[in-house]
Amino acid sequence: MLRFLLRRIAGSAVILLLLTVVAFLLFFGMPRDPALLMCGKTCTPDALANIHRTLGIDKSIPEQFWIFLSGLVMGRDDFAQGPCPAPCFGYSYHTNEAVWSTLLDRLPLTLSLALGATVAFLIVGLGTGMLAAWRRGTVIDKTFTAGSMVLSSMQIYFLGPLALALLVYQMDLFDEPKYTELTTNPVAWFTGLLIPWAVLSTIFAAQYTRMSRSAMIEQLQEEHVRTARAKGMSRRYVFFRYAWRGSLIPIITILGIDLGTLLGGAIITEYTFGLPGLGMLAVESVNFSDLPLLLGVMLFSAAMILLFNIVVDACYAFVDPRVRLS
């Protein structure tokens, strides 16, 4: 098991390296000169050459890549803004902040948003899905199935403003969503994120309802589930012990992908509610053509997705002993 995980981690590291190469070439190897962006309207050839030197883009591309890569691992101190400890993604063109510390600044919001929504949509999604499977064919099942169908075809940029208009502006039940550090004020943290959580998890929960329902129904038809019934175990026991266990496997797979994506930044949600998380950061970096920042956000998101893929593999082994031993 440990060897399997180590192999997966090594594999992910290789993927991340390849991704770095591609992203680096796309951004820094582009024919467009990033120095022009920084130079402003009154640009002279001298100033441009100066910026080239400061950015280090007067060197050859492989040389630049090597400097970038070693900066990621060991840090750099060749920046005018000051030393840049590992992992060094360089400094933002736009704000002159170190990219890594900007990422770390924005991470708590994205983390709060993603994990809070995940807890909510897992509880609601798996709960309703299992209830629908347990009461298959009844009114409850049909209601949940139809409801989840409608909700999962909704979009955040529709539900989000709708929730804001209704709950905040019309009925005045909540304040506008706002992020407060959990450590500063837990209550404000919770209430400020309530609507984004609700909107984000509504759409995800609907998908998990459908997934969990169909996975449960499939598992309930498994022969080993029938065997468990044939040896006198109660319907409830068989449902939760035998069928549920197997239904988790497809759900874990999708959850790994969803969590990785969410932690890379829920772009539309953050943008809809004006929450400055990693998703918003990605949008900003694109808007300002802030290449070091964009590269940083991209690699960070990719690392999250890869990380959660490994977590998913570990979870498989936890749920299914057949994976554990092979």
Partner 1 sequence: MTTLTKEAGAPVPADEGAFLSVRDLHVTFKTEDGPVRAVNGLSFDLQRGKTLGIVGESGSGKSVTNLTILGLHNPMFTTIEGDIVLDGKELTTARESELEKLRGNKVAMIFQDPLTALSPYYTVGRQIAEPYRKHTGASKQAAWDRAVEMLGKVGIPNPKARAKDYPHQFSGGMRQRAMIAMSLVCNPDLLIADEPTTALDVTVQAQILDLLKDLQREFGTAIIFITHDLGVISDMADDIMVMYAGNAVERGTVDEVLRSPQHPYTWGLLNSMPRIDSDLSAPLAPIPGAPPSLLNPPSGCRFHPRCTFAERVGGARCVTERPLLGPDRASACHLTAEQKRTIFVEEIKPRLG
Backbone angles phi, psi at 195, to 5 degrees: -70, -45
Is 14 a binder of partner 1 (CB under 8 A)?
A: no
Residues in region 100-139 near partner 1 by CB under 8 A: 136-137
At 76 the three-state DSSP class reads strand
Selected from 50, 81, 155, 234, the binder of partner 1 by CB under 8 A is 234
Provide the token pair at 144: 């949940």
| Beta carbons of 56 and 66 less than 8 angstroms apart | no
Beta-bridged to residue 84, according to DSSP, are 76
CB of 141 to partner 1, least distance (A): 11
Number of residues that bind partner 1 (CB under 8 A): 25
Which element (helix H / strand E) includes 204?
helix 186-220
Residue 230 binds partner 1 (CB under 8 A): yes
Which tokens hold the place of 253?
């797979």
CA distance 210 to 241: 20
Q: Stretches 143-151, 191-199, 276-284, 318-326: which one binds partner 1 (CB under 8 A)? A: 318-326
Kindly state the smallest distance separating residue 232's Cβ from partner 1, in Å: 4
At CA 113, angle to CA 9 and CA 281, rounded to 5?
80
**Binds partner 1 by CB under 8 A, chosen from 70, 175, 227, 274:** 227
Residue 173 CB, shortest distance to partner 1, in Å, is 42
5 vs 10: CA distance, rounded Å: 9
The residues with which 98 forms a beta bridge, in sequence order, are 91
SS3 174: coil
Smallest separation (angstroms) from partner 1 to the CB of 12: 27
| Lookup: tokens for 134 | 């347990």
Rule CB under 8 A: is residue 236 a binding residue for partner 1? no
Give the shortest CB-245-to-partner 1 separation in angstroms.
5
| Cβ pair 57, 64 in contact under 8 A | yes
If you ran DSSP here, which 8-state letter would residue 264 be given? T
Give the interface segment with partner 1, choosing from 87-95, 181-189, 300-308, 317-325 (CB under 8 A): 317-325
Q: Closest distance between partner 1 and the C-beta of residue 235, in Å?
A: 7
Kindly state the greatest CA–CA separation across the chain. Answer: 86
In the region spanning residues 132 to 161, those forming contacts with partner 1, defined by CB under 8 A, are 136-137
CA within 13 Å, CB half, 224: 7
Pick the piece of the chain touching partner 1 (CB under 8 A) from 29-37, 44-52, 59-67, 240-248.
240-248
For partner 1, give the closer residue by CB, 59 or 229: 229
SS3 per residue for 78-144: CCCCCCECCCCCCECCCCCCEHHHHHHHHHHHHHHHHHHHHHHHHHHHHHHHHHHHHCCCCHHHHHH
Q: Binding of partner 1 at residue 48 (CB under 8 A)?
A: no
319 lies in the binding site for partner 1 (CB under 8 A)? yes
Site for partner 1 in 187-226 (CB under 8 A): 222-226
Among 229, 254, 261, 268, binds partner 1 (CB under 8 A): 229
Map the footprint of partner 1 across residues 242-301, applying CB under 8 A. Answer: 242, 245-246
Residue 322 as a binder of partner 1 (CB under 8 A): the answer is yes
Interface contacts to partner 1, rule CB under 8 A: 136-137, 222-235, 241-242, 245-246, 319-322, 325
